Amino acid sequence: MKRIVHNDQNGMRFRLSIAVIALWAGIAFTGCSEAASFYQLESAVTMKSASPDWDYLTLDPTRPYLYIGQRGDGVTVYDLREKKILRTIDRSEDANATTLVPEFDRGYTTNGDGTTTIFQLSTLKTLDRVKFGEDADNIFYEPVTHQLVAMMGDSKAIAFLDAKTGRILGRLEMESHKLDASVPDGQGNLFVAERDRNAIARIDVKNHRMTAEWLTEGCDEPTGLALDAVGKRLLIGCRGKSPVLAIMDSESGKMITTKVIGRGNDGVVFDAETHKVYTSNGVDGNLVIYQQTNPDTYQLAEAATTRPYARTMALDQKSKKVYMVTAEGTVDPEKKINTSVTAFYPNKYFANTFTLLTFVRK
């Protein structure tokens, strides 16, 4: 009997050894599969638009809707599941971006004339169009104070609004006239990229004041911005002559490191689940992704080809799909050319060429 038990134990040990080997083999195989998986174009949907021009994209966290800021047409709401346009938000002409506040069932567009179009998320019906300044580039939501923070670069100011009602709460004068991306820290502060000052400003939203301004050494023209809240790192897309992804300590403003990205950056997203940093770069037409191995170390994960001037993006945190938009254009020598971005940046886009790009890992 003892011998039988002994043999059973040996057999069990053998079976366990095989199971462990199979498990590690499976892990290794999975790792290889993941390593061999790269972003590729899944679909390109062309939309009718008389005068294509665009800026930011926003994903609805509660339903499969993508909000696309089309300056000429207003905000387009696209159903990703049904693959069709639902509607254009009424009275949202000249819109750059959309900010969603699901807890109040509200959406806010950022309109270039210094207004916001307030609409109901559940119905997509416009409620009002409110004036808060003379210009606007983007609006961001700060969840601790329940305030909207509007960037007004031309006016060198920031406006604060009540996220439930749209009521104006205050204004902060700034030195920068290129107030770009912003991101909240979850503690009532908002970080703001000051492109013309090569700096990051920290704003105390409750008290409507700037509490710090840090130079982005080695990073010219900071534009895109994301935050690793756990690792306390700001991830900054820098659009200068030598474009890089800059990593900054979000508590001290100390610059940690920089990594090369493509030209024409206008979007940075941090995926806290996979610890990947996504950068969309329109001039070079690429999606450059870095893997964060620890808060101070970043390794290139991939650099996927997109399309020219697909500069902004949205990442679906669940499916990991990446959405971008672009259009076919040209440089009309009779019109003003924006040479600050690149020598031949399009100043005219052709009607009915506006395209939504969806990228997936394959």
Do 30 and 110 lie in a common domain? no
Give yes or no: residues 52 and 112 share one domain. Answer: yes
- Specify the residue for token string 């939203």: 205
pLDDT (tens digit, 9 = 90+) per residue, 254-267? 999 999 999 999 99
Per-residue HEC secondary structure of 171-189 comes to EEECCCCCEEEEEECCCCE
Q: What is the pLDDT of residue 341?
A: 83
* Residues 17 and 155 both lie in one domain: no
Which of the residue ranges 219-223, 253-257, 262-266, 335-339 would you say has the lowest mean pLDDT?
335-339
The boundaries of the domain holding residue 23 are 1-36
What's the mean pLDDT in 195-212?
Answer: 98
Mean pLDDT of 103-111: 98
- Order the strands of the 354-361 sheet from edge to edge: 39-47, 354-361, 322-326, 313-315
Q: Three-state DSSP class for 144?
A: coil
* Average confidence (pLDDT) over 62-91: 96
198 & 305 share domain: yes
In this structure, the answer to whether residues 351 and 242 fall within a common structural domain is: yes
pLDDT in tens, 309-333: 999 999 999 999 999 999 999 999 9
Q: What is the mean pLDDT of the chain?
A: 91
Which of 30 and 233 is assigned the larger pLDDT?
233
Using an 8 Å Cβ cutoff, are 67 and 76 in contact?
yes
Q: What is the spatial distance between Cα 362 and Cα 351, in angstroms, rounded to a whole number?
A: 32
Cα–Cα distance measured from residue 178 to residue 157, given in angstroms and rounded to the nearest whole number = 10
User: Is there a single domain that holds both residue 131 and residue 225?
Assistant: yes
Same domain flag for 182 and 249: yes
* Beta strand 95-101 pairing with 84-88: unpaired
How many Cα atoms sit within 13 Å of 119 on the Cβ side?
25
Q: Which element (helix H / strand E) includes 19?
A: helix 2-35
Q: Are residues 20 and 62 in the same domain?
A: no
Mean pLDDT of 105-113: 98
**Contact 317/273 with Cβ under 8 angstroms?**
yes
Tell me which residue has tokens 């902060």. 172
Separation of alpha carbons 217 and 256, rounded Å: 10
Rounded-to-integer distance, Cα 122 and Cα 82, Å? 17
Same-domain pairing of 21 and 47? no
Per-residue pLDDT at 218? 97
Same domain, 21 and 59: no
pLDDT of residue 347: 93
Output the DSSP codes for 293-324.
EETTEEEEEEEEE--TT---EEE-TTT--EEE
- What value, to the nearest 5°, has the Cα angle with vertex 223 and ends 314 and 301? 55
According to the model, what pLDDT value does residue 338 have?
87
Over residues 53-67, the mean pLDDT reads: 96
Residue 339: is its pLDDT beyond 50?
A: yes
CATH code of residue 323: 2.130.10.10
- Contact of 191 with 227, CB cutoff 8 Å: yes
Structure tokens at 146: 């329940």
* DSSP one-letter code for 221: S
Whether the Cβ atoms of residue 188 and residue 142 lie closer than 8 Å to each other: yes
Give me the number of domains the chain comprises: 2
Q: Each residue of 72-99: b (16+ CB within 10 Å) or e?
A: ebbbbbbebeeeeeeebbebbbbbbbbb
Phi, psi of 352 (to 5 degrees): 60, 30
Q: What is the structure's pLDDT at 51?
A: 81
Q: What is the pTM of this model?
A: 0.89
| DSSP, residue by residue, 332-352 | -TTS---TTT-TT--SEE-TT
Distances (CA, A) of 68 to 55, 76, 247: 8, 5, 28
Q: How many CB atoms sit inside 10 A of residue 38's CB?
A: 14
Task: State the distance between the two ends of the chain, measured CA to CA, in whole angstroms.
Answer: 55
Kindly state whether residues 221 and 241 are assigned to the same domain: yes
Whole-number Å distance between alpha carbons of 244 and 251: 21
Clarify whether residues 14 and 49 are in a common domain.
Answer: no
> Strand pairing partners for 302?
289
